[in-house]
Chains A and B, each alone.
Chain A
């Protein structure tokens, strides 16, 4: 079998990019996610950061934080790296490759927020980093269990009805993506959002949502 199993819940296969044993493919669903990731990566590349207005409470005063793009150069670089990792993750046709890209997204997310100097944001980022590190265990554990029990990591094979993937592997995979992208645990992320540099902070959310959408498709298909 050398194509995507039919029927696939993400739609029929549109295009395939082969990297030896690893195959990346586009279905309507992954193409949509890919387009969205490209869009926001481009926005992160071309847009300048916003200037945050803060109100001094107890008076009429307000002040604007003037942030030059040069100050956020590193955030922009990490945001672009994060966008590229997301692009890789959403079109990957291989479970292990997907988990690798996911952990790369986790690391670049930490990179985006670690570059800020605000103490509150850094405290939240620290907790986020801890969770992202814990998450690599279930993430790669899930991929490892899939390989050990089915002997393959190719989604084309796994999406077929012939192979049964154990529930525990799916649970590990979802848990890992949740940790890397912080999908439902939004506490630390909400605090991170307070940092300036909207286009770059936004990439954190874009990547985690897209990863979550992709892992849902993978888990439902397997």
Chain B
């Protein structure tokens, strides 16, 4: 299990590097090498580290540990084919990590990042439309049951594309450089991560790489189903590249516009759900 966790960490960091590289190439820049994010994390972990004098010490450190803990748990839920309700619960709890990162340091930039992360909490709503739809169609939220259902009826991606699109938007909103990534936009320095430097930043990079790995892996498992692990990795890479295209070509939205866009996405999925229920 620990081996899979470490594998996920390094793959996730590599995926982050590929994401940056792809965006750079799409925008006509050379971009950093794809292992840049792995080097970054190592570099941060060697740096001098302290807790800012203004920070709320316990919270400042605890959110880093919580970030690592929840995403390791999410990975194990996928590995053991557990309940996707728990997986999405963890995804929601990640919001608390974002708030905590920004608020705990006392930095004005961190605070802006945290306030924006509160605003962008609407990004979780498409997720519940997704869960509701999956539960309605497959009759279970156990990942093993969903994979079995897809083995019998074909991938959910083809059975209910709007739901997959909603989940895609959810993943997009969590990518770096995405049009929804208002909490770490450049005008507020690094947003809620501004004060987490050194070892704290390295640990956060590890946690966020796990997050990217888990979200992509979950999308493939939920909407494509049980296929060999190598094929899963290839699909994750393709998914990431498509996300890179969106991130490279779309401008950053203004904070409240992201809320409106995500609410509209939810409304569309809700209309789709009602239509499915009425037809069925």
Partner-B contacts on A (CB < 8 A): 7, 9-11, 28-29, 32-33, 36, 39-40, 43, 46-55, 64, 183-184, 186-187, 189-191, 193-194, 198-199, 201-202, 205-206, 209, 212-213, 216-217, 220
Contact = CB atoms under 8 A, between A and B. Distances in A.
Contact of A193 (B54, B103, B105): B103
A47 B103 contact: no
Given A48-B57, A53-B54, A202-B99, A9 B122 contact: no
A201 B117 CA distance: 14
Given A29-B86, A43-B62, A205-B96, A216 B128 contact: yes
A212 B92 contact: yes
Contacts of A189: 118
A78 B114 CA distance: 21
Q: Point out which of A51, A191, A205 has the most chain B C-beta atoms below 10 A from its C-beta.
A: A205
Interface of B: 53-60, 62, 66, 73, 82-83, 85-86, 89-90, 92-93, 95-96, 99-100, 103-108, 111, 114-116, 118-119, 121-122, 125, 128, 131-132, 135, 140-142, 259, 263
Nearest to A44: B59
A135 to B, nearest CB: 17
A193 to B, nearest CB: 5
Contact of B59 (A33, A52, A183, A198): A198
A46 B62 CA distance: 11
Given A9-B135, A11-B83, A39 B66 contact: yes
The 3 closest A-B pairs by CB, nearest first: A47-B58, A198-B103, A50-B56
B59 A193 contact: no
B108 A55 contact: yes
Nearest to B266: A184
Given A50-B59, A187-B119, A193-B111, 10 more contacts: A9-B83, A28-B83, A28-B86, A43-B59, A50-B60, A52-B111, A186-B119, A194-B111, A199-B58, A205-B99
Nearest to B125: A184
B106 A10 contact: no
Q: Point out which of B62, B66, B125 has the most chain A C-beta atoms below 10 A from its C-beta.
A: B62
Contact of A190 (B86, B118, B135): B118
Contacts of B135: 9, 220
A46 B58 contact: yes
Nearest to B70: A36
A52 B53 CA distance: 11
Contacts of B118: 186, 189-190, 193, 205
Nearest to A10: B85
Contacts of A202: 59, 96, 99-100, 103
B265 to A, nearest CB: 13
B103 A201 contact: yes
A220 B108 contact: no
B96 A52 contact: no
B99 A193 contact: yes
B59 A53 contact: no
A53 B66 contact: no
B93 A209 contact: yes
A198 B132 CA distance: 33
Given A184-B121, A186-B121, A205-B99, A50 B54 contact: yes
Contacts of B114: 193
Q: Point out which of A9, A43, A198 has the most chain B C-beta atoms below 10 A from its C-beta.
A: A198
Given A50-B104, A50-B106, A198-B56, A206 B96 contact: yes
A40 B60 CA distance: 12
A53 B100 CA distance: 16
A5 B96 CA distance: 31
Given A184-B122, A190-B119, A205-B95, A217 B103 contact: no
B106 A53 contact: yes
A190 B115 contact: yes
A193 B112 CA distance: 9
A209 B96 CA distance: 8
Nearest to A36: B93
A186 B131 CA distance: 22
Contacts of B90: 32
Contacts of A10: 83, 85
A70 B85 CA distance: 40
A193 B99 CA distance: 9
